């Protein structure tokens, strides 16, 4: 079975290939389909954006397509940055992770430790050419630290401390983070679904 990942993000492609390595699934990416346009993520939920991306790529390629939309929800900010996580400080590209983290920490400067609860959310959508769409959710609960720590990962990893740990995601190895992360959990559910479909 071939699945096209609705992304050109090398880290996401690597991670998904690693987690699906034991399955009879060939993982392709948008790099294999350069004619497919970028999806405009204009929905107001992670599920809405993931489904839109998966369906558009499925229609463009004629193959089953997998998309994810992920982000950070902070309790003290009423669930922000949410679907705007990647462009929280305005814009994307070089330096945007640093600017996003700086904005988040400045907005939480006066929030006490016990009220800094947060979670990463991931929605994965799998779209088939017959119009069927399946969604899988993963969550990672934790809190926001006082300053960035660690050099691995990307996005909000340097400020997010998962529940039950004292280190940020950016202070963990890729494998350790995968076992706790929102994307890892959503991919586990996807893998379970694929096993049931392929009768493994």
Rounded CA gap, 120 and 64, in Å?
A: 26
Sign of CA dihedral 31, 36, 37, 40: negative
Of the candidates 123, 13, 2, the residue with the CA atom closest to the CA atom of residue 62: 2
Active-site annotation holder among 44, 68, 69, 130: 69
Instruction: Tell me phi and psi for residue 121, to 5 degrees.
Output: -125, 140
Q: 82 in the Ramachandran plot: left (φ > 0), alpha (ψ -120 to 50) or beta? A: left
Report how far apart, in Å, the C-alpha atoms of 97 and of each of 61, 87, 168, 177 are. Answer: 31, 9, 15, 18
Rounded CA gap, 74 and 69, in Å?
A: 17
Task: Examine the residue annotation and report whether 22 is marked as an active-site residue of this protein.
Answer: no
Tell me which residues are annotated as active site.
69
């Amino acid at each position: 079975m071939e699945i096209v990942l609705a992304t050109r993000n090398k880290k996401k492609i690597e991670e998904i290939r690693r987690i699906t390595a034991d399955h009879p699934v060939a993982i392709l990416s948008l790099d294999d389909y350069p004619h497919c346009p970028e999806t405009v993520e204009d929905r107001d939920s992670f599920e809405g954006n993931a489904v839109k991306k998966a369906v558009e790529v499925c229609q463009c390629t004629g193959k089953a397509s997998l998309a994810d939309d992920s982000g950070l929800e902070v309790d003290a900010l009423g669930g922000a940055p949410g679907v705007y996580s990647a462009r929280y400080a305005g814009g994307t590209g070089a330096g945007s992770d640093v600017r996003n983290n700086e904005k988040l920490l400045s907005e939480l400067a006066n929030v006490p430790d016990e009220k800094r609860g947060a979670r990463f959310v991931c929605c994965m959508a799998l779209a088939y050419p017959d119009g069927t769409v399946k969604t899988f959710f993963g969550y990672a609960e934790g809190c926001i630290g006082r300053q960035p720590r660690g050099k691995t990962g990307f996005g909000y990893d340097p400020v997010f401390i998962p529940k039950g740990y004292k280190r940020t995601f950016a202070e963990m190895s890729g494998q350790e983070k995968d076992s706790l992360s929102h994307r890892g959990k959503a991919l586990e559910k996807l893998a379970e679904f694929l096993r049931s479909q392929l009768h493994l």
